[in-house]
Amino acid sequence: MASFSSSLALYYKILNNMDIVLGLQWGDEGKGKFIDLISENYDITARFNGGSNAGHSIERNGRKITLKMIPSGIFMKEVQNIIGTGTVLDPVSFKKRS
């Protein structure tokens, strides 16, 4: 079993290799567009909260695409996308979008 200090060191290492984008309003700050622009430089993008009513509008190849429940890095092949436990999934809406 790992000691507290080694667990703390691992936690610190993880935090030092992570960038987090948070919005402090009800949305519309451009978080999705920003993540779409920078996601190619990351291994993982994650959506950690929200529901099917929230979405990110991004532009891809001249088309406006609205993502709901899906992380904005989804169009980058090498990026692993995670839907976190704080995200409310509506199975009917999710199936329509997949």
CA 31 to CA 56: how far, in whole Å?
8
CA 35 to CA 41: how far, in whole Å?
10
Q: Which residue has the tokens 């959506």?
A: 47
Q: Verify whether residue 28 is a known catalytic residue.
A: yes
Active site residue: 19, 28, 36, 43, which one? 28
Q: Verify whether residue 19 is a known catalytic residue.
A: no
Active site residue: 36, 43, 56, 90, which one? 56
Is there a contact between 56 and 32 (Cβ–Cβ < 8 Å)?
yes
Catalytic residues: 28, 56
